[in-house]
A and B are shown apart, each in its own frame.
Chain A
Amino acid sequence: MPDRTIDLRIWRSIGRPGLRPHFDRFTMPVDPERDTLLDLIERTWAALDRTLVFRHACHHASCGTCAIRVDGRERLPCVTTVADVWNGRSPLTLEPLRNFPVVADLAVDPSGLLARMSALHMPYVRTVEPAVRASSGVTRDGDVGAAERFEDCIECGACVSACPVAGGDPDYLGPAVLAAAERLIEAGDINRAARALDMADTDHGVWECRSIWACSAVCPSGVDPAARIMALRRAVLTQSTQTASTERSSEDAPAGATP
């Protein structure tokens, strides 16, 4: 049995009439190496306060629903052990993601992000690429046919929360959506890629990014949105250069040459 205890400061907010946003403090036993933050949050609800609202489902970083801020940094509490983030003394501060409407306490409403992913027609599954297998140190010979796998982005919203630009402009498409746009171009689906370029090349799109890279720092799933946004800029510029040169060559065409 663990003989250590930890204090959690948990953000409590709207939902209860007359309740001002504040922090509640909970003290509980902890085994820092084994307990995840989600274990502690669930235990807080089960044993200490049945009114605590938080999202969770898969408990292994596959569903993306539990993302919160821990001492100001975006984390998936399901795969963050206490030892990963705790100095052994100070309380840990748990807050909901920024830049989303708060449902209550630690739960936010992801529907805006999901609607933008829908508008992009971002698929949920993709074809396995040999590069990903190689990163696991697994190589194979020959063509074995395409396997499918889920996209890396779990739509958890951590990058949107960490992005200062998203904080200043609610219409900014944000890192997850721009990264998805670049994924579609990389995947080579011509129709989806064309739509992605159109969505990205707008006032609230790829040019609004200020290259802060906070999104990539907090992504729990290895998507690296910032690098993808830079690649997306290149793709947009390449396309507009091609469009411009096509227009120019038609302007340059001699009069009467049009069939």
Chain B
Amino acid sequence: MTEYAIKQLLAGVAVLFVVVTATFFLIQAAPGRLSILADPTLDPSVAAAIERRLGLDQPVAVQYVRWMSNIAQGDLGRSLVFNRPVMQMIVERLPATLLLGFTALLITVLVGIPSGIVAARWPNSLLDQALSFASILGLATPNFWLGILLIILFSVQLGWLPGAGMQTIGQPFSVLDRLSYLVLPAVVLATSTTAELMRYTRSSWLEAINQDFVRTARSKGLVESRVHGKHIMKNALIPVLTILGLTLPRLVGGAAIIESLFSWPGIGSMAVNAAIGRDTPLILGTTIFVAVAVIVSNLLIDLLYGAIDPRIRFD
């Protein structure tokens, strides 16, 4: 187990190193200068000041070492637009993103896994076909478009739910109020991941059905509900854990669009605004932060996976 854990950890660190290096060269390889500096209306002395602040007047090797050591110390630089440390801005907005992300993850798991199991329990039934159709739609729908449609329906036409923001202005915080703002973005964010998880659960379940221990369980005379509820469940759901790890990047990436659409004050909408405002340190810092967060979560999932399923450690 220890050897497996160390291997996973090293791989995680290597990927982080590559991502951080890649972001560095992304700036270095920019055509001519940073696009914010290419603005012809910008005063040359201001441009020079920005270059000096970003250390762009130093040799590449010096810049690279500084970039790496700053990030290793948790320093992601300062925002050009807000003149504040990027890390501080991320920490401020992180709770909103975590709330939205975890709610969407909860919806994904609570809807995706049961519906996948139901589809696999009665394969090719009408229900299975309906669910499969729903998952094809879920994977092909642009989530922001679904968001627009739901805002038009529930906020504009029916007036049941708010379509933007995180709480009613001028009112004290209440759970019910927060939930009313959370429902639409969380549901929209969870659509494609739910569809994906359902598909995966279904095929994982169908694969488990054909294994020897299932035949043994049946030949012992176990009722079908017990075969499914106990023997298949245990074996089918372990691989589902991996796909859950793979849905994290999709969830986080989707959060950028969905937060913007719903004016949700998290790091996703901050990143989009930074990209629109050409605030390079802010967008790069957020990207690196998000990459670290997702890679660390995947690492934890891998370790958990190794602990639950001994087969994986000796792969």
- A, B assembled together: no
